[in-house]
Structure 1
Amino acid sequence: MKTVLLARRAMNTRFELLLHGERETALRAAGEEALDEIERLETQLSLFRATSEVAHLNRHAADRPVPVSPPVFRLLERARELWAASGGAFDPTVEPLMRLWGFRDTNAAAPAPEAVAAARAIVGMDKLKLDPATRRVRFLKAGLRLDLGAIGKGYAVDCAVEVLREAGVTSALIHGGTSSVYGLGRMPDGRPWKVALPEPRTPGPPAEISSETPERVLAEFTLEDASLGVSAAWGRKLVLGGRELGHVLDPRTGEPVQRAALAAVALPEATESDALSTALLVLGVGGVATLRRFRPGLRAVVWSPASSTRAPRGLPGAT
């Protein structure tokens, strides 16, 4: 049994592929093709690339219907479905609020309530018109902007997995920045893949992919042809009234989330686990039941500083 580890930077993070199989050359070729697919998707989905399809939509879709490629249109349809299922907690149109709070520059500050209300009025996937017959997208509100960052890495992982499957790879672990993880098949010893979430202590990467279990574990997830999405309110902070607020906003209120600091969701598709972990970060532990009505097999963990230091709040028995 051969093992190949490949890595590449894309989507402002590091993607890693751990591949097992009989032929090293074939594994390496399949892995490189999967990473090429991730890079290709970045050129379509990135908010920050002026030539991407998302950037083109943000510039022109409020003025006229804009055609997009089949992968981008499919992702927008999935995003709208997940927006509806989460009651708007996951919303890739939240970008106007992110800009208002200053999380896209160096001037993070609490905006006036009137400004928040005005930005909220142009946020929502119901303000996009998607025409399946022509694959055209139209923004129904001026100022609306898309940011697929909360679903794009998961979608890229799913597409990479499909490339590996088509190449005959049956055992692999793929992750994008440790926030979107997929276990393809089983490990060489026949066991499902295991991903451990370290107990949060200081802001940092929320998940670890390692042969060693962290000393203090919040939860462990077993993955067999399944994915794990992890969202956390680490990163940029805003200090307001003596409180530190994270950079994740509740699209429904326009305010930084305060119910949870970390959420993890396991589902068969990384696209969904990526998006719904963000939704769960917004909804808090009460959102587990809501999301399980949409996906009954959903496994989840929610953590906040106020919860027990040893036991996650959320769905017991994450494995």
Structure 2
Amino acid sequence: MNTLNRCRPLLGTFVEVSVSADASDKELIDLSNKAFDEIERIHCLMSFHEEVSELSILNKTAHIKPHMLSKDMWVVLSQALALSVLTDGLFDVSIGQELVAQGSLPNHLARQHSIGTWKDIVLDEESIFFKKPLLLDLGGIAKGYAVDCALKQLSPASSALVNAGGDLACTDWQTTPVSIRNPQSKGVGVTLPMSAPAVATSGCYFQEEGSVMIDPQTRKPVEHKESVSVFAPTCMLADALTKVAYLDKHSGALMQKLNAQAVTIDGQGNVNMWEADK
């Protein structure tokens, strides 16, 4: 059995790929390259920062006429809108304008007002249309999807793991521990067993001073002094649910419904595993 560990800067963070198989070094390198290439492909489709990405194009045109979607974009948007329905808008990918106003995203369109919400998004089997002008941002779900896609590229391996700055998915999750940082203490973490194939974390960490979490219901930034991690069947779902759990401390029943588990860690390193009635 041969093992290869590699790391590249992608998605605004460092992406780690670990792969083990009865294969040569070259074969493992080629396999890991497929995972990195897949992440780069998803980034090119769903980046708000890239003016020619599919996301930027639909932000410019989808309120004028229906926009035909790639398969990947349809998968992500259908999951996002399903979560918007389940959370009554607490998860809302139409908060792009607020993030532009906060300086977290570039103002490609020089649009002064973006009045639509998730309820103004019409998604069918092939296309999307906005009933009102709005700006989608997929920063709360696309990274997890990219991790899922990368892990699929590693399926020939006996064991594989992809970690994109805390959005993590692996094949041998039953025997894999994960370290989650203390949100207030540099270099300090809490080690937990994986309770599902994927995990994602949101929190106001010491090095993330420029990051902003928007409450879609108030359209205002929020901040907590704790981190929220969610274990889920897919990294896309885990990524999205961290935002829900971060904003709603009583979403334990929703987590259970979606076969997910939320965990909070405060500045003192105290761990709270959410129950269904929370």
> Which bracket does the TM-score occupy, shorter chain normalised?
0.7 to 0.9
1:263 and 2:222 matched: no
Displacement after TM superposition at 1:183 (Å):
1.7
Displacement after TM superposition at 1:44 (Å):
0.7
Residue of 116, 127, 130 corresponding to 1:139: 130
Query: Within 5 A, what are the aligned runs for 1:149-188?
Result: 149-165=139-155, 168-177=156-165, 179-185=166-172
1:148 and 2:138 matched: yes
Displacement after TM superposition at 1:299 (Å):
1.5
| Residue 14 (structure 2) aligns with | 14
Query: Within 5 A, what are the aligned runs for 1:87-102?
Result: 87-102=88-103
Displacement after TM superposition at 1:151 (Å):
0.6
1:194 and 2:177 matched: yes
Residues 35 and 6 of structure 1: CA distance in aligned 2, closer, same or farther (over 3 Å): same
| Residue 207 (structure 1) aligns with | none
| Residue 213 (structure 2) aligns with | 248
1:286 and 2:273 matched: no
| TM-score normalised to structure 2 length | 0.87
| Residue 230 (structure 1) aligns with | 201
The question of whether the paired residues in 2 share the 8 Å contact of 1:38 and 1:160 is answered with yes
The question of whether the paired residues in 1 share the 8 Å contact of 2:35 and 2:154 is answered with yes
Residues 71 and 262 of structure 1: CA distance in aligned 2, closer, same or farther (over 3 Å): same
Aligned-residue Cα RMSD (Å) equals 2.5
Displacement after TM superposition at 1:314 (Å):
4.0
The superposition leaves residues 180-216 of structure 1 with CA deviations (integer Å, 9 ceiling, x where unpaired) of: 0012126xxxx711102132324x7xxxxxxxxx7x5
| Residue 23 (structure 2) aligns with | 23
**SS of the residue 2:122 aligns to:** strand
| Residue 192 (structure 2) aligns with | 220
Query: Within 5 A, what are the aligned runs for 1:60-139?
Result: 60-104=61-105, 121-123=115-117, 125-132=118-125, 135-139=126-130
Aligned residue type for 1:101: Q
CA distance in 1, matches of 2:202, 2:69: 28
- Structure 1 stretches of 4+ with a deviation exceeding 6 A read none
The superposition leaves residues 194-243 of structure 1 with CA deviations (integer Å, 9 ceiling, x where unpaired) of: 102132324x7xxxxxxxxx7x544513266x000111134236xxxxxx
The question of whether the paired residues in 2 share the 8 Å contact of 1:288 and 1:314 is answered with no
| Residue 50 (structure 2) aligns with | 49
Larger Rg: 1
The superposition leaves residues 21-48 of structure 1 with CA deviations (integer Å, 9 ceiling, x where unpaired) of: 1113332221111111111111111111
Identity of aligned residues (%): 25
CA distance in 1, matches of 2:204, 2:96: 16
| TM-score normalised to structure 1 length | 0.76
The question of whether the paired residues in 1 share the 8 Å contact of 2:183 and 2:203 is answered with no
Structure 2 stretches lacking a partner, 5+ long: 107-111
| Residue 264 (structure 2) aligns with | 302
Residues 236 and 259 of structure 1: CA distance in aligned 2, closer, same or farther (over 3 Å): closer
CA distance in 2, matches of 1:139, 1:220: 42
